[in-house]
Chains A and B, each alone.
Chain A
Amino acid sequence: MSSDNGAFVRVHPLLVRITHWINVLAVLIMVLSGWRIYNASPLFGFKFPSDWTLGGWLAGALQWHFAALWLLVINGLVYISYGVLSGHFRRKLLPVTPRAVLRDVGEALRGKLAHDDLRVYNAAQRAAYLGAIVLAVVLVLSGLAIWKPVQFQELAALMGDYEGARYVHFLAMVALLLFVVVHVAMVALVPRTLPAMLTGRARVPATAKGE
């Protein structure tokens, strides 16, 4: 690998790393308690196995869900505020064009996509990370519509009222989990991205141009 003689550089800012791992915990709690809540009145013809859920019963799951909600939302607001105000999003996630995304997804599927410089996200990554942020926002908004279909009835109306918001909430959860599956698979394929998200640093090729 060309990075052998490269230098250790800062890849992920501290705030991004902290919010990333808090988010992992928050999403884990939200999903596992959410499955238990789903099981109380399934939208589709299946239930999640009880052992894969959190809370023990409906009230317990609701307690977890509405406690972790604060962790998710506050952490998410910190991350998004930082991303917008510091220019982190602009530098790392933009620009992203459909053409570039298709090209990079194609290359990734053929195993040709380079990951030498972890400071630079390819177009497929940019689209995926932006998509995950959008999904998280949709999850919170549809959750608010389900929680408060009277106080936030205008929001609920955008999603097809209370019952529509339940479907939006569920489908956004599925989409976010698809992102997680791909994301974790990519980390498994490029394992040095994992320590980089912990320590913030990684070796990059001497020839890399950086951000």
Chain B
Amino acid sequence: MKRLFGMQDSLGAHSRPQIEKIERRLFLKQGLSLGAVTLLSGCDVTDAESVQKVLWRMSHWNDRVQAWLFDPNKLAPEFPESRITKPFPFNAFYSEAEVPKVDAASYQLEVAGLVREKKAWTLPELYALPQVSQVTRHICVEGWSAIGKWSGVRFGEFLRRIGADLTAKYVGFRCADNYSTSIDMPTALHPQTQLTLRFADQILPPQYGFPMKLRIPTKLGFKNPKHIVALFVTNEYPGGYWEDQGYNWFSGS
């Protein structure tokens, strides 16, 4: 059986697009590498496809457990500004040079799905909404974490403002970098879930998601989409860029 000789899975640095791509390709090609278990038993003990099926099912079960554990009133710890991580790491599935350039003047946030007012939003309109700030810990699925300051509109208030069906199951996001993700409605309505327009009191810089990202301190970093261009409310499971490849969907903290 082919194994992943000398393959590194990630770097100390926070952007490793090439390696991530290679890894993904190998993963798709050979399913789950059983690595050491195979090594120990001397043969391919498991049918990779059925094992993978069980693992996906367990991941869905863990989604349900996490939804049950999620307390809509429990706030993520906030920190003094002195604890902010500098410089704050850049992280994406591509390198910093490939960050999408979004034109502020022509930018529009598209709103779709189970909402009453489907009108698109311009940046001045978003900046004019009531703004709040938070200093919270961003935790990456890789394990590292960093504390930052984000400011913007409470997402729950925004959803109410556009007349979203708050009993719907999901809110999905599409981004200028072709990223996508989706979250559960209880998390969308959490008081710290924020439609973020500023980072460290400055207009959100391109590497952190200009012109707008979603900040969710109760979820892992990859559930915090950047460069959002469209959001939609739905009852149909929308999945997401990383989720479709095997990362746990709920990924709540």
Contact call B35/A162, Cβ cutoff below 8 A: no
Considering only residues 26-73 of chain A, those with a C-beta below 8 Å from chain B are: 28-29, 32, 36-43, 47, 50-60, 62-64, 66-67, 70
Distance between A131 CB and nearest chain B CB, rounded to angstroms:
25
From the candidates A28, A57, A59, name the one contacting B37 in the complex (CB within 8 A).
A28
From the candidates A39, A53, A59, name the one contacting B246 in the complex (CB within 8 A).
A59
From the candidates B7, B33, B143, name the one contacting A55 in the complex (CB within 8 A).
B33
Q: Number of A interface residues, CB 8 Å?
A: 38
Contact call B140/A51, Cβ cutoff below 8 A: no
* Chain A: CB-nearest residue to B217: A150
Contact call B143/A40, Cβ cutoff below 8 A: yes
From the candidates A38, A53, A151, name the one contacting B74 in the complex (CB within 8 A).
A151
Given A41-B143, A66-B59, A163-B145, A59 and B4 touching (CB < 8 A)?
Answer: no
Contact call B77/A36, Cβ cutoff below 8 A: no
Whether, in the assembled complex, B101 has its beta carbon less than 8 Å from a beta carbon of chain A, the answer is: no
Contact call A50/B4, Cβ cutoff below 8 A: yes
B residues in contact with A153, CB < 8 Å: 74, 76-77
Whether, in the assembled complex, A149 has its beta carbon less than 8 Å from a beta carbon of chain B, the answer is: yes
Distance between B206 CB and nearest chain A CB, rounded to angstroms:
24
Instruction: Scan A112-146; emit 1 where CB is below 8 A from any B CB, else 0.
Output: 00000000000000000000000000000000000
Contact call A39/B59, Cβ cutoff below 8 A: no
From the candidates A57, A64, A70, name the one contacting B27 in the complex (CB within 8 A).
A57
Contact call A53/B77, Cβ cutoff below 8 A: no
B residues in contact with A149, CB < 8 Å: 77, 137, 139, 253
A residues in contact with B27, CB < 8 Å: 56-57, 59-60
Bound complex: CA A151 to CA B187 (Å) = 12
B residues in contact with A59, CB < 8 Å: 27, 242, 245-247
Contact call B139/A51, Cβ cutoff below 8 A: no
Given contacts A67-B58, A150-B76, A153-B74, 15 further A-B contacts (CB under 8 A): A36-B9, A38-B143, A40-B142, A41-B12, A51-B3, A52-B36, A55-B35, A56-B35, A57-B24, A59-B247, A60-B32, A63-B56, A63-B248, A67-B54, A150-B252
